[in-house]
Amino acid sequence: MLKQRVITAIVLLIVLVPALMASDPIALALLSLILCSLGAWEWGRLNALSFSLASCLGVFCALICAGLWYAQVVSFSNYYFWLFCSAAWVLMSAALLRVGPQGWLHIYQPIRLLGGVWALCATWLAMNQAKAMSFNFLLSVLALVWAADIGAYFFGRAFGRRKLAPSISPGKSWEGVWGGVLAVFILSTVWIWVDGQRLGAASGFGSAQPIPLETFQQGASFFSLLASKGLVIQVCALVFMSAMSVVGDLIESLVKRSVGAKDSSRLLPGHGGVLDRIDALLPALPIAMFWSLI
């Protein structure tokens, strides 16, 4: 199993890193479109669709993303759209965590299916708009989610006592959540300092010095952009983003538990499915776009 995980991770990095760093945005757009389409197929299978119908759902998701690209929506970030997406994630998550795995099955199936497609398409759009802002911006958002996950894992293993959601994901603890938040704050401090050295922008956690537009366009990170908005917004955004990355993981676990599935699929040997890898990104990327435009 470990060998499979390592090999799959290496292959994913070989494919992902060049797409992230490519100057032509089409590379990341195509790769993320494929991943979201596969995620939509997995979503269909988790929600009792046959292989062929789940495949149609994947194609439907791909067509929506392609349509957004053709309409050049990637070039325009709208504050109210991302506010709606963020609010929808918060309200939907609160409702689903309240009803639990059994309540999920009582939701009308088309609503479940469309909700998943909406989440995947919004994530695709957010990822590509973030890349349009700068590679450093997108990478910092991804790193925030990874840091929250890694911090939660190690703090949970070392100090976890109080279960976060035992009926959904027994391995998660409140101590792990706060460990993830701490890891994000440490990462943010370091990243802001590096940005300050590289770009001459605001340097240090809590800095309220505005980042000039031309400097941000040169490649400032999500963390530096938050720092330029003031300490209150910076702290609120980092805590909120860390929490919502955990929520994304919990929602996928809830859906899998409702149907007795361990993984969303077996597309990624040793790692499960695409949704297992991107679940925390589904709320985090759209919410990052909201905070960047606030």
In order, the DSSP letters of 166-178 are: TTTEEEEEHHHHH
Half-sphere exposure of 163 (CA within 13 A, CB side): 7
Start-to-end CA span in the chain (Å)? 44
Q: Where are the domains of the chain?
A: 2-293
Predicted confidence (pLDDT) per residue in 132-163, tens digit: 988 899 999 999 999 999 999 898 888 878 88
Predicted confidence (pLDDT) per residue in 253-290, tens digit: 999 999 998 888 888 777 788 999 899 999 999 999 99
Residue type, 228: S
What is the average per-residue pLDDT within 77-84? Answer: 92
Q: Give the whole-number percent of the chain exceeding pLDDT 90.
A: 59
Contact yes or no for 159/175 (Cβ under 8 A): yes
Residue 42 has pLDDT above 70, yes or no: yes
> What pLDDT shows up at residue 207?
54
Q: How confident is the model at residue 116 (pLDDT cuts 50, 70, 90)?
A: very high
Q: Give the whole-number percent of the chain exceeding pLDDT 70.
A: 91
Structure tokens given for 87:
């609010």
Residue 214 has pLDDT above 70, yes or no: no
> What pLDDT shows up at residue 120?
97
What is the average per-residue pLDDT within 75-87? Answer: 92
> What pLDDT shows up at residue 1?
53
SS3 assignment, position 230: coil
Q: Which among 145, 164, 159, 154 has a CA at the least distance from the CA of 223?
A: 145
SS3 assignment, position 204: coil
What is the average per-residue pLDDT within 200-226? Answer: 63
Listed in sequence order, the residues at least 6 apart from 84 whose beta carbon sits closer than 8 Å to its beta carbon are: none
Predicted confidence (pLDDT) per residue in 19-33, tens digit: 888 888 899 999 999
SS3 assignment, position 130: helix
The CA-atom distances, in angstroms, between 23 and each of 12, 27, 67, 131, 137 are 19, 9, 22, 10, 14
Q: What does pTM read for this prediction? A: 0.90
> What is the C-alpha to C-alpha distance for residues 37 and 60, in angstroms, rounded to an integer?
8
- Helix-, strand-, coil-residue percentages of the chain, each rounded to 5: 75, 5, 20
Q: How confident is the model at residue 107 (pLDDT cuts 50, 70, 90)?
A: very high
Q: Taking all residues of the chain, what is their mean pLDDT, rounded to a whole number?
A: 88
98 vs 203, more confident:
98
> What pLDDT shows up at residue 229?
87
* Cβ-based burial of 19 (10 A; exposed 0-12, middle 13-18, buried ≥19): middle
